[in-house]
Amino acid sequence: MGDQNGSASPAAPSEHIQLKVRSPDGSEVFFKIKKKTKLEKLMSAYCNRLGQSQDAVRFLFDGERLKGDKTPEEMGIEEGDIIDAMVQQTGGCGY
């Protein structure tokens, strides 16, 4: 029998993380994505699931607006973190 010195060690950190996207009403949607996947993919999936236009939803992490061209790794987002989704309100006075 040989050594188990392969590169896929069970102690190695996973390349996937699970994130929670929370809407203002408190509902939560869970996503599992790779740390190096552009956040655009998560944003698009969330908007499709809710039937919202991606232009109408803002995503925040620790109060900072997220950009779709960044990855969780670049933004310091880790396993179990929460991303807030805010629906942009347009319009104004109804008179």
pLDDT-derived band at 13 (thresholds 50, 70, 90) equals low
pTM of the predicted protein model: 0.78
Structure tokens of 20? 């929670």
pLDDT at position 5: 53
Delimit the domains of the chain by residue range: 16-87
pLDDT-derived band at 88 (thresholds 50, 70, 90) equals confident
Element (H, E) at 91: none
- Single out the residue of 60, 37, 57 nearest to residue 49, CA to CA: 57
Instruction: Reply yes or no on whether the pLDDT at 7 is more than 60.
Output: no
Instruction: Scan for tokens 């960044």, then name that residue.
Output: 70
**CATH 3.10.20.90 for the 16-87 domain, yes or no:** yes
Give the burial string for 46-79 (b: 16+ CB within 10 Å, else e). Answer: bbeebeeeeeebebebeeeebeeeebbeebebee
CA within 13 Å, CB half, 50? 21
